[in-house]
Each structure stands twice: as C-alpha cells, then as structure tokens.
Amino acid sequence: MAVGVLALQGSFNEHIAALRRLGVMGVEVRKPEQLDGVASLIIPGGESTTMAKLAEYHNLFPALREFVKLGKPVWGTCAGLIFLANKAYGQKEGGQELVGGLDCTVHRNFFGSQLQSFETELVVPDLASKEGGPETFRGVFIRAPAVLEVGPGVEVLADYPVLANKLPDQYRGPEPDEQSSAATSKVIVAVRQKNLLGTAFHPELTADTRWHSYFLKMGSELDEGSSKAIIIPSTYPGFIQQPKIDLPIYLP
C-alpha cells in the first residue's frame, strides 16, 4: 500500500519526491477517508497553526488520532512533530489542537524565527547502524521545534547542544539562576516511540533518504508478514551516496 503524506500545507511535495527516489508511491492526504487507503503516514513540516486550522476544517483530527491508535506508522517532521506530541510548550494564544500519541513535550519554534533557521551535522548512530552511510546527518532546521522531555517509552535518536539559558526555567535544572550564561545543555531533535517517529528538522530537504528508508522499514517491523507491509526494493538502498547539497534557506 502507498504511503500517505498529509498535504494541507508545507513540504509534502518534497516528501513524496523522496519516497519516489526509494521506489515507493506517496499519495496526498487531505480528507479523513483517504487515510483508509494508506499503510503509513507522514505529517510534513510547515506552519503548525495553519495546518491545525486546516485539519480542523476538514475534520481530520479524529481520523488522525484513530490512525495513530491503530498502530500504523506515522512520522512527523518539524510541524508534524508538534502535531504528534502529547504536550506543546510556547503555543500561540488560544492554543493549538494536537493529534498526540507521542509521549513528549515539544517547544514550538524553540530555535527562533525564520531568520534563525540553520543547518548542522547531527550525530545519528542508530540511523547509521540500520541504514548505513556516515554517522552524521545534515539537519535542516527552519523555525524548528525541539523536544524538551520524553516519557520512558520514547527512544532518543538525535540531540543538539544549546545554551542552557535558552531553556524554560523548569527544564534548566535545580538552580537555573546560578547557571553561567555559557553553560550548555541538550535538546532532543529526533525520537521514536513504537509506531511513531518525530524529527524536528527536514530530511526531505536533503538528498539523503536514510530517514525515509528508516520510516518505511518501521512498517515492516510493526506489521511483519502482513500484506500491508511496505517492501523497499533492494535496488534502492536507504543511503544513496551523492554530493552534499547545501540548500538555501529562503527568507521573506
């Protein structure tokens, strides 16, 4: 079965293109009934408040929550990670409806505005061990969130160092007022909990398809032996050796 990509707003076309490079069909999902025809779902990056309003308009939240509860693989990137989180910190006035299911607290726009967007090499040992390739992955962060804390069933796949004084007081430690302004801490930028995967960055904006391959194999792991399991052709390895492409960050 095809992989669904929530196509309300954001980088859904880029995810579909990445899936195509792996020989897998990605289909746009905009209505609840379209979820019945896909084995797994990617919730892309974009503007999370806008995406939430459109999802509410199309009555998608009940169907998305049911999709998660059924144990089908769901991957949220950037705004999609916010959607999947059980709790979101720093929301706009009035809040934002969440799909939930991922036992974590996400800080919305933790890394700042569009002007603070950046790229960096992330250490990803679990990804490298399963998909091959280098021990690092080029993380593209655009108005990105960060995970502040996770529950016991959540596996941390990547983190990123930040100044401790960027964290909300309750996450800085027992004596935040006495911490040096130069003290460093870490925030989490990639997690997995059973059928749920979340990345604060945008793998779909790079030439490296290993996160997509990793996600596709989650379906096979969770549904081994089922006719719904996604089979990745052996001719499409998860890591395709290509020259590194530093994509521009487009500013308004």
Binding residues for L-glutamine: 46-48, 108, 142-143
| Contacting residues for 22 by C-beta, under 8 A, at least 6 apart | 209, 212, 213, 216, 232, 233, 236, 238
**CA pair distance 146, 185, nearest whole angstrom:** 13
**CA pair distance 63, 56, nearest whole angstrom:** 11
- Helix %, strand %, coil % of the chain (to 5): 30, 30, 40
Q: State the binding site.
A: 46-48, 108, 142-143
**CA pair distance 110, 160, nearest whole angstrom:** 12
202 noted as active-site residue: yes
3-state secondary structure of 196: strand
15 noted as active-site residue: no
Q: How many CB atoms lie within 10 A of CB 29?
A: 27
* Pair 52, 84: CB distance under 8 Å: no
104, 107, 204, 212: which one is catalytic?
204
149 noted as active-site residue: no
* Pair 111, 127: CB distance under 8 Å: no
Q: How many CB atoms lie within 10 A of CB 182?
A: 8
14, 15, 78, 212: which one is catalytic?
78
Annotated active-site positions, please? 78, 202, 204
